[in-house]
Structure 1
């Protein structure tokens, strides 16, 4: 069996990781922005959730296939993460999920109503699988992470644009937003989750909490 690396490129082959109760498929779209989209499938029921319908709806719908889509989660309001939302929802009838503070902006930009406005500690459920919503303020007001606490293994975390290998998300030169984001990432992610937690960002390669933990103080000191 091929080992999952999470190293995907727009126009390239998706990468799939098989967990005990969940199958994760990562695909990159749009050569300019290189957004990551993640299709999660519950093994027990074949129900599927898409994290970020970022672009290239034809690629995403082909990935979704005949199994259909239960929900689509948008991690935050920025345009590059929801350009295919309208097409995907129209084709699948999926429930639209987003953070409460970003929901109105997502609807304004896409024309798609947000059915489920989630906050810190809420859950996104599909089949026998459950994702915990973690509100991470700073990159946008309503950015969310999604935590899958694998009952048969290590935690898995989708971070949108709030955490990457090498630092937190862009706060556009706003010192207050940076402090909020680094504090949220520190307390809600690094203080809580074990080193082996694998995280999946909105762009680029994956990493683990343990690999990034030694750099937290450095990130805080540099201010970005």
Structure 2
């Protein structure tokens, strides 16, 4: 029987025989905390798996560092499987709902369901179709009668302005909805409304003049 080392005896006496040996194998059964640097030998094992063999296995299987080395943004996105979800220098095609954080800059050739957004917005925001553009106020007093229904037969909205002079209640209706109203004796008011294309409008009461922007 070999004599027990005096250093081992010290560890045994203070209960550190499996916690702080400086030579041979150490086995830890719980959480351990070390201060300063820790040097792990090549045969270090974690839960029975050799760390050196594990790292070698992972590197051999994933080749992560090799795969990422020297790649540009497009290459990194391709490696990460993001080639169709986050490209920065080519067209992206999304087939389902996407959520982005921060600002998103859309190029002029962006399409929505096959329709170019630029041309779509241009057609919707055509200044030539704005209310008042290419339209003029017209005095239509001679051709208008209270209590008669009229229709906006143009392809654009028109405005109706009627200074009324009667006592009691006066109203201007568009599409059956009361849009302007006045009530009182010896009071002068101007009733105003915007009439969409194809909508009907009617004025009830007495008026001194009738003008339309059309």
TM-score of the pair, normalised by structure 1: 0.14
Which one has a larger percent strand, Structure 1 or Structure 2?
1
TM-score of the pair, normalised by structure 2: 0.15
- Larger radius of gyration, structure 1 or 2? 2
Which one has a larger percent helix, Structure 1 or Structure 2?
1
